[in-house]
Structures are given as structure tokens and as C-alpha cells.
With several copies, the nearest count.
Chain A
Amino acid sequence: MREPLIFEISKKGRKGCYLPPCDVPTQKVGEMIPEKYLRDKKAELPEVSEIDVVRHFTKLSTYNHGVDTGFYPLGSCTMKYNPKINEELSRLTGFARLHPYQPEETAQGALELMYTLQKDLCQVAGMDKVSLQPAAGAHGELAGIMVIKAYHEKRGDLKRNKVIVPDSAHGTNPATANMAGFKTIEIASNARGEVDLEALARALDDTTAALMLTNPNTLGLFESQILEIAEMVHKAGGLLYYDGANINAVMGYARPGDMGFDVVHFNLHKTMGTPHGGGGPGSGPIGVKKRLAEFLPVPTVEKADDGSFYLNYDMPDSIGKVKAFYGNFLVMVKAYCYIKALGTDGLKEASEVAVLNANYLMENLKKTYHLPYDRICKHEFVINSKNLKPYGVHTLDIAKRLLDFGYHPPTVYFPLIVEEALMIEPTETESRETLDDFIAIMEKIHQEAIDNKELVVNAPYNTVVRRLDEVSAARNPIIRWKKDE
């Protein structure tokens, strides 16, 4: 008895909420708005009662797997526990019920929180100035690459129209470069899974605007030659952009600023424990070195001499605005709470255990699965299902079979440089017991694949729906309900 669409339970005349009354003297609508502008047909919103809406979305929720449901080792996504206190505090009316244009004097608490968060993020990343504007990681990338563009432009260095990305990079990196008007140059990784310095050297020239890198990279490996890389890029006149999706691996052990990066974005919805929300809202602040500060998007939050806080729009060389208002404020509140709860030591400890958990999983899983880069990993690692190819079982099958055991599968088929990749990130908020159970199930599936291929390639069995036909979904897209369907 799958829950129908909300439209399918609509019944004429029903209403799911109780609006404030219209208590003013009224006019005819036609006298206020010319007829030609008025809808002659009401929008076909569903007509349902409050209990219908509540039951509908309660039911839908049960079709989902979240971190609170169980283990969620989705590589690159840092699916750590989302502390409940942060949900509570971000909902305080003193945050949720502020208008973005209310006088600054009446929003000092909010501004102070943002100011401190800017400072704290500078600390964690070793950068000089932070902007909280971007709404997510990719948005941070875009804003950050724009800052780099503005920097070169200001210097009159106008031929720098290329951004270098390794072939292991996340899709948003090349997409961002493109969206910021750059050409993307992809360079191959070396046998250790790191940036190939020779390839980099070949790619660098006076048209290089920047190198985008994440460190640890998407293989979960630390770019051990990062200082050399930074020197090479800088020498060529380019800047270094740090994709901070993986900062959870290195807090207290490596700061992008110290590695030579000029711009960094955070994913607060990864590193700082704010929830992913089924795909957002996130928050993707960017931090820059001093010489780039003037190009940050407006406004930043500043502290005046009298100790009060204000929004600073007075930045003539700013790239401008990258979204309306000041970023995803309530997400910032959660990240702020997270940082204050953990403190310096807690953040470092988070990285330590994230890395420990990952190495523990890796060492145990490599007994059954193929590990293409066999070295210490950071917060995540990549294995593949190569060994199972002869049996006709693929990474996708393993992922689907995991569903039957109550797990969210790892990230699959990424990074692209590992065939049949399974990218696994346990995070620090999982216990050894959870890891052990997962290892056992992964081993079991491996054995199943060998003994009983059909069982695996037809999985899952225990889910609300089974494998879905994505091909016809894309070929013949039905992407909305329509009244007469």
C-alpha cells in the first residue's frame, strides 16, 4: 500500500490549515487588480485536510534512510551524526524570526554569531578572511573561483583563462571552472593516486588561473607533495583553490592555508555536522588569504570600534553578490553550535577518529575487496569490485545488496579514475561495532556474489521499491503530476 501522491488524495473543499481571517474592509478584487491579470482558474493544488498532510509526509519519511536510521558510509559526503541540540538552537525565534533587512542594531546576536563563525573558520583553515555567503560547496567553489578571476583581472593579468583539475576531481570542480568562464585542463593522477607533478608542470603556464584540488583527494589520500605543488602553481602565477569537502580528515593536522592554498571553501554540511536535509540546505563559506580579501562577495560581517557588528558592503573590488541576503544563516547557526560544542580539541579529535575509522574499515575490507591504492588513507578510501567481475557482479549490485541489510551504500563509480569504485567514508560518529558489522556484511555479500550471483544482481528485496528503471525515466520523462493524467 504505497502512499499515493498528495494530489491523488485530494478531495474538493478540504483544507489543511487555518489562516488568519481577513479583518479589514474589503474591496472587489477586480477593483484592485485589472481583470486581465487575474487567474481565471485556480492553481491545482491538492485539497487535503491537516491530518492528511501529516499522515502523508509521515508515511513518506518512512521510505527514507537517514543517518539516524543507520550507517551511511557515503564517501565524500561526511554523513556524520547531526547533533540534535543544533536543530533545537537554530530554531530559536531569536534566529528564525529575523528579517534580513531589519536594522543592524536589532540583529546584533545574529551578526556576532556570523562574525565569530568567520573567525573560527579562518582558524580551522588557516586563512585570513571568510565570507559566509555561499549556500553550498559548489556555490563556494564558484564564488572562490570568481575571486581568483577578479584577482587576475585586477592585476591586468587577463590571459589567465584556464583552471587545472586532476582527473580524480569531483564533478563540481570542472563544472565550476566552466561556469566561471574558464577552460578546464584535466591532468592525470600518478600511480600513487596523487597529482602527477610532471603532468602538472606541463599544464602550467601563463594562462593558468588556478589549480583546484582537494586534499586529501577524492581517493582519500593525502597529496604528500602538496608543498611542491603549491610552489609550482604559484611560480607559474596561478593560485591554488582548495575544495574543502574533505576537511573532516585533517582538522588540527593540516590547514589549507599552511599548505599554500589561496582560497578554500567549506562544506559546513559535511565537516561541521549540519544535516544534509535530503539534498540541502548546506552552507559553503569561502576563506581566502589576505591579498584576496578585497574580492570576497559582499557583505562580510565586521566588528566596529564600539564593539558592535555590521554588514560591510564597502568593498569596491568585491566580485559583488553571489546570492540574496547573507547566506544560509540557520545552517550557520548549527555549524557555530557544532564548533562551540567541540572546541579546538574536539574538532581535532573528530578528524583523528574519522581517519582511524576509515583505516580500520579499509584494512579489514581489503582482505576481500581490491584496494587499488594500498596506503594509509585519511577519512575515506576507495575499493572496487574488480575481483567479482568474473562472476558477473558489479559495484552497483553490491550497493543494492547492501540495502537489504539496512545500510546506505558507499558512493559508487566515483572517483572516475577507479573502475567500479566504492568510496567509503565511515566518519568519526560510528562505533567500532558498527564498522565490524558492516565488514561482516560486506564479506557476506562478496561470498554471495561468488556463490549466488543471481541473489546479488537482483537485489534489493527488502525495500519499498526494488531496482527502478532509470533508463525509461530519462527517455520518457514524467516529471510532474498533471490533473488529467
Chain B
Amino acid sequence: MRYIPNTSEDRQAMLNSLGYEKIEDLFQDIPEQVRKAAVFDVGQGMSEYELKKHVRALAEKNQTVDQCISFMGAGAYDHFIPSFVDQLLLRSEFYTAYTPYQPEISQGTLQAIFEYQSLICELTGMDASNASVYDGATATAEAANMAVAATRRNKILYSKGLHPEYAQTLKTYCWSQGFEVEEVDLEQGITSAGQAEEKLNKKDAACLIVQYPNFYGCVEDLEELAKKVQAQKALLIAVVTEPVALGILKSPGELGADIVAGEAQGFGNHIAFGGPYLGFLAANEKQIRRLPGRIVGKTRDVDGKVGYVLTLQAREQHIRREKASSNICSNQALCALAATMTMSALGKEGLREMAETNLQKAHYAYRQLTSLPQVKAVYPGQAFFNEFVIELPKPAGEVIEELRKEGIWPGVNLSVICEDLNKCLLVCVTELRTKDEIDRLAERLGGVL
């Protein structure tokens, strides 16, 4: 009877009213062979309290970032989330609703998405945003699709500074569509403008994908790359995994990006072992009708009142079927709502303040760490926001292991992601870290080297 109101008497009465005797009568249309086979076992049901004990025990087997001092980023950023966000997300009118197909009773979701789109446009400096896609990686892949459609070329160039998991996802998507993919190397931590130019000059590339700031923390010179891309009539796709950086960095739009794809988890969504996050996708005017997924527009009702609706649906799978710009249906609406609430709470000044605090703390940490004799800055002189790479005299894995015992997670081990960087650590410092914690990291890191 779990979560089922109808009692056995109700059910029997309903069956009888339909002329059936037993519930199995309703399954006669299933071939007997199939029915017979359909035995499965996921265990016995648990009462709510038993479930709670069981699941809590699982949760307690994990160590959280609150139980240590974490300097982990690499596409999953632990930023401050105002407490009210989760309480508002628990308003069931939001989270128990479906995609807002019936606008008259979905104005809450629709208006919030409209606000979300506006905020993303403000942040990225673009004209249009959709209502979210699954995550930054799939946003990147979708952006590549858009570029192919826009240019009718099917080679994708991407910088090696793109998050490795995004690059892998991109490759998977491109493989299945038969697009070619080529990597552009880094030079001193940023995309090699020379190599990019060379590859672009072949005029067969739909786009160049560059992460900003890139995976290794370095701020790319988007403007320069944009010029090279535009010269060859390709599109520049900027990928942002750490949107807080846009509180202080010039927007990709201003620098000439045609599409901005990225991950907005950093606003209002917990790191949550990798998901759910939310991919954002923004584009300039020309690409609007190539955007995948939901888009909300403003309109009026029969009485002239302002209202919001899903719009430009002729791009979507439920209308266009195999000709749709993407197959995406459900997106990450509630995560986008969390991001909307958080960006609203931060506001113009708060976002700037948050970005600056990240910048200051990360640079302080950089100074402290790189002043250790055994620690080497890997990309000295490159501008970075809240993440940077250091090289250690021994394998990063060992150092992580040792510091973990002292309650410090010093950063992401790059060797796991790129085999050749096995002594490198990607250190992220957000506004949540304190001076004391940074000092402690520096001191203990010095201690174990």
C-alpha cells in the first residue's frame, strides 16, 4: 500500500464495477511467457523509519567537504548557497510540477525561467539563453551541434584547456553524428593562438571551443581567438565552468563569442557528487532558433495581462521530431531555479564581491603555496581566477593521501585526468575558505613535502 490511497476494498469494488474479478485480469494482454518471466527481486519494502536509518547509514559512510578543508574544484565548485534557496525549492508547487506545458497554471516556473534566461544573458553578454540543458559537458556538445548547423561544416576544434570530461563528452556526441574533432594545444597554460589559427585556416572548422577560465585556471584571451575564428567564418564557443568568474571577467559576449555554453552549478547548487547540475547555453541573436531545449518568452493573455509561455517550440522534438535541433526534453529546471534565486540574492554588487573574494583568496593561496621551496607554479604569469596548478616534487596522489589524514583535501589530482600531469595538483580556493585554512594548507603541504 505504499503511497497508494486505494484500499483493497476500493480496488475490488473498482474491478467489479468494470466487470473484472481480479487485478491479473487487467494484464491478460501481456503474453503469458512474458508475464511468467517477470519475476524480480529488489528486496522487501521498508517502513519510513527503517528506510531513514538505512539511508542515513549510507550517507554517513561518506566524508563530506564540511568534514575537511577542501580545495577541490575542477568543474564542481563549492560556493556559498543562501539557506533560503533550499527552503524555497521545497515549495511543492515548484518541485512537483512538470515542464510548464500549461502556461496558465505554470506562471511560477515560467517567470522564473524567464528571469533565469535574463540572468544568463547578463552574465554571458549574449542575446538569448535557453532554459538549461543537462550540464556543462552536454551544453558544450549541444553548442558544437549548433555550430555545425550554422556553418554547415562538421569539424569541431576544441582547446586542450577544455575540461577533460567535457572534451570526452563532446567526442562521444561528435562520434555518433560523424563529426570530426580536433584538439588545439596549450602554450603556457592557454590555447595556442598559432595552432588555432593554423587549424582554422583550413576553413573546414565549424567552431573553436575554448574554456574561460580554462580547466587549468588560466584566463584565455578570448578576444584574440575570436578574431581568428571570425576571420574564417567559424563560430567561437566559450565554455564557462565557473560562472562566478564572470562577476569580474569580461563577458564572453563582449569578447566576441558566438555561443556561450557552461555549467551554472556554482550558483545555488551543491556539488552533490557531480549532479544534478545545470548546463547553460546562450547565443547571439543569429543562433536563437538553433538553441536546443525549452525557451520561455513573454506575451499577453486575452485580457492583455503579461504572461510567459514556452516559445519557439518549432525547434523542439515534440514538434519537429527527427528534425529537431536536439532531442532534449526534460532539462534541469529546478537547478536553474536554484541558480536564479542565488544570482538574485547575490545581485549586482554581491556577485562582484563574491568574485573578488574568490580572486583574492585564490591569489593569496597561490602566493603562499608557491613560496614553498618545493612547490612550483606550473603556469607562472598567467592570469587566473580561483584555480591554479602547482607541481610537487612527488606524485600528487601521495600528497593528497597524506594531507587527507590531516583533514585537508589539497586539490584535484591532475594525473587522474591527464596522465602526464602526475605531480600536479589543481587547487581551487573559493570564498568559503578562510585565511587560516589556506595558511594551514600551506603549512601542512610544506610539512609533507
Contacts and interface: CB of A to CB of B under 8 A. Distances in A.
B10 to A, nearest CB: 5
A101 B305 contact: no
Interface in A391-433: 399-400, 403, 408-409, 411, 414, 428-432
Interface stretch (B103-111, B225-233, B369-377): B103-111
B56 A66 contact: no
Interface string A135-151: 11111011001100100
Contact of A62 (B108, B330, B383): B108
Contacts of B91: 57-58, 61
A254 B434 contact: no
Q: Which of B31, B50, B324, B353 has the most CB of A within 10 A?
A: B31
A466 interface: yes
B416 interface: yes
Contacts of B6: 353, 356-357, 428, 431-432
B273 A325 contact: yes
B55 A45 contact: no
Nearest to B295: A479
Given A83-B3, A124-B42, A17 B357 contact: no
Nearest to B123: A43
B330 A408 contact: no
A172 to B, nearest CB: 5
Given A2-B306, A63-B106, A89-B56, A24 B361 contact: yes
Contacts of B111: 3, 5, 60, 63
Contact of B97 (A33, A112, A276, A414): A276
A139 B311 contact: no
A283 B335 CA distance: 13
Interface in B121-178: 121-123, 127-129, 131-132, 134-138, 145, 163, 165-166, 168-169, 171-173, 175-178
B273 A50 contact: no
Contacts of B62: 94-95, 98, 106-110
Interface in B262-310: 263, 270-278, 288, 294-303, 305-309
Interface stretch (A196-204, A232-240, A339-347, A445-453): A339-347
Given A97-B270, A474-B297, A344 B347 contact: no
B438 interface: yes
B325 to A, nearest CB: 9
Contacts of B134: 135-136, 139, 281, 323
Contact of A101 (B44, B72, B314, B346): B72
B382 to A, nearest CB: 10
B421 to A, nearest CB: 14
B419 to A, nearest CB: 12
25 contacts: A18-B47, A21-B47, A42-B352, A57-B341, A60-B108, A61-B91, A64-B94, A72-B98, A98-B271, A99-B273, A108-B61, A109-B62, A136-B330, A175-B322, A252-B39, A279-B109, A322-B172, A325-B75, A342-B45, A357-B6, A428-B4, A468-B300, A469-B299, A469-B302, A477-B312
Q: Which 7 A-B pairs have the closest CB atoms?
A: A325-B274, A94-B59, A343-B45, A109-B61, A277-B334, A279-B333, A100-B274
Given A99-B65, A331-B276, A469-B302, 6 more contacts: A24-B435, A33-B248, A139-B138, A142-B327, A408-B98, A477-B295
